[in-house]
């Protein structure tokens, strides 16, 4: 199959994905919301106790959940409806009783304490909010605590399958890097925060799929399709916290399993990155187009304006024109805590003994083998620099997780760099 045919099929898959995403969103907006409100009400006390940015380990931003975004999703799920499921699915409205107070409004809506209160609707249609495809049906049956426990079970299962896959593939020397990356992503925080849980699930699911079906993906253009669909699914389900980790971890696994070396592998790495990015960007733009057609509101204009704001290098609402170094340091310093320092030191010692042992048996450093991993390790820093202060400086308390890519790639680079 030639490149032209691949591009035609990829465009067709993107179109089908956009249509399928719209249909799924409309279907879940047809679900009744009364039971959803009851189950959120059962967890109302937990919501109010945790507040907006709950830290299960005080003083650790890595242990901070994003209840603000979670509560906005609860409000999306419980929205009473405007009379048009199609428009609601595209606009993703939430009803607030106050000024940008998602948690309090979610509790008021769920418990029915809205009599005499003036509410106003806020549309948030520039994202897909595909996580509502999971959240709304679950809220029909379970409360928020139940959903967290299901998330924990799912994460543990996928993590077990990932480790088993590493062992089965003979990649045990890559496990220290994977363990370091998972620790930096912080599985406990992922359980505590629904939007993080969805993205963490996508990361682990990508690991399991590649480790289980590598031979299938190797055939023809299948790996290109895999990364295309990975980008599509990521933008559909994520809330723009750390979606690049889904790509980065999957890419490093591909590098570990690939039989290609040197420049051909670097070219393949870049091509797979383009596929993932194309899936992510065009699927995202598909939401803007569908919402514009079905509601009449120009989401292209709004989204481009917001993108310019979040990627700007100018003043933020926290600091006056922070420098690139300040942006990088704010993400890095999250890990200037003793548990992370000790963990990194232990992995470094382990890698030192590995290098020492290999050098004693005649091994030598091969820079050519290290280059693809080095490029992957630089990816988070390119994001921090490229996406500006609005994303990587203001929201450092979740963008720091992109450094899990650098940790995983760095350890694998040292391991694979010894012949």
Within a domain: 29: yes
pLDDT at 1: 63
Q: Domain for residue 313, yes or no?
A: no
Q: How many domains does the chain have?
A: 1
The model carries a pTM of: 0.95
Flag whether 74 is in a domain: yes
- Ramachandran region of residue 265, left (φ > 0), alpha (ψ -120 to 50) or beta? alpha
What are the structure tokens assigned to 367, written together? 């820079």
Q: Which domain holds residue 20?
A: 3-139
Residue 97: CB atoms within 10 A of its CB come to 17
Asked whether residue 112 is domain-assigned, the answer is: yes
**Do the domain assignments include residue 92?**
yes
pLDDT in tens, the chain (419 residues): 688 999 999 999 999 999 999 999 999 999 999 999 999 999 999 999 998 899 999 999 999 999 999 999 999 999 999 999 999 999 999 999 988 889 999 999 999 998 878 889 999 999 999 999 999 999 999 999 999 999 999 999 999 999 999 999 999 989 999 999 999 999 999 999 999 999 999 999 999 999 999 999 999 999 999 999 999 999 999 998 999 999 999 999 999 999 888 889 999 999 999 999 999 999 999 999 999 999 999 998 888 887 777 766 655 556 667 888 999 999 999 999 999 999 999 999 988 888 777 777 766 678 788 999 999 999 999 999 988 777 888 899 999 999 999 999 999 998 888 76
Using left for φ > 0, alpha for ψ between -120 and 50, and beta otherwise, residue 163 falls in alpha
Which residues have CB under 8 Å from 62's CB, separation 6+? Answer: 184, 186, 189, 334, 335, 337, 340, 400, 401
Specify if 165 maps to a domain.
no
Q: Is residue 91 part of a domain?
A: yes
């Amino acid at each position: 199959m030639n490149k032209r045919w691949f591009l035609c099929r990829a465009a067709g898959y993107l179109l089908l994905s956009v249509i399928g995403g719209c249909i799924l969103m409309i279907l879940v907006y047809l679900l009744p919301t009364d039971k959803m409100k009851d189950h959120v009400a059962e967890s109302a006390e937990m919501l109010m106790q945790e507040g907006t940015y709950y830290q299960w380990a005080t003083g650790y931003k890595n242990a901070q959940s994003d209840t603000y975004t979670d509560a906005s999703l609860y409000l999306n799920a419980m929205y009473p409806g405007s009379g048009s499921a199609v428009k609601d699915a595209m606009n993703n409205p939430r009803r607030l009783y106050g000024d940008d107070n998602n948690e309090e409004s979610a509790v008021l809506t769920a418990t029915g304490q809205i009599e005499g209160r003036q509410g106003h609707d806020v549309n948030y249609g520039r994202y897909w909010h595909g996580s509502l495809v999971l959240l709304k049906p679950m809220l029909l049956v379970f409360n928020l605590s139940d959903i967290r426990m299901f998330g924990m079970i799912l994460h543990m299962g996928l993590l077990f399958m990932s480790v088993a896959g590493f062992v089965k593939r003979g990649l045990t020397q890559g496990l220290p890097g994977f363990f370091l990356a998972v620790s930096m992503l912080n599985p406990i925080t992922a359980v505590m925060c629904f939007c993080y849980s969805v993205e963490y699930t996508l990361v682990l699911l990508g690991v399991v799929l590649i480790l289980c079906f590598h031979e299938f993906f190797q055939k023809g253009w299948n790996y290109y399709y895999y990364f295309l669909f990975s980008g599509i699914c990521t933008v559909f389900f994520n809330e723009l916290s750390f979606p690049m980790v889904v790509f980065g971890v999957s890419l490093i696994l591909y590098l570990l399993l690939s039989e290609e070396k040197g420049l051909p592998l670097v070219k393949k790495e870049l091509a797979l990155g383009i596929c993932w990015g194309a899936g992510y960007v065009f699927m995202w733009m598909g939401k803007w187009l569908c919402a514009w057609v079905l509601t009449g509101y120009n989401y292209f204009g709004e989204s481009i304006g917001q993108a310019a704001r979040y990627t700007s290098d100018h003043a933020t609402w926290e600091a006056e024109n922070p420098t690139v170094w300040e942006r990088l340091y704010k993400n890095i310093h999250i890990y200037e805590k003793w548990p992370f320092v000790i963990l990194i030191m232990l992995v470094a010692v382990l890698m030192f003994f590995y290098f020492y042992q290999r050098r004693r048996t005649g091994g030598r450093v091969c820079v050519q083998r290290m280059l693809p991993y080095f490029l992957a390790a630089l990816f988070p820093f390119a994001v921090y620099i490229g996406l500006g202060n609005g994303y990587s400086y203001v929201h450092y308390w979740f963008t720091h997780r992109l450094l899990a890519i650098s940790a995983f790639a760095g350890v694998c680079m040292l391991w694979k760099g010894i012949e």
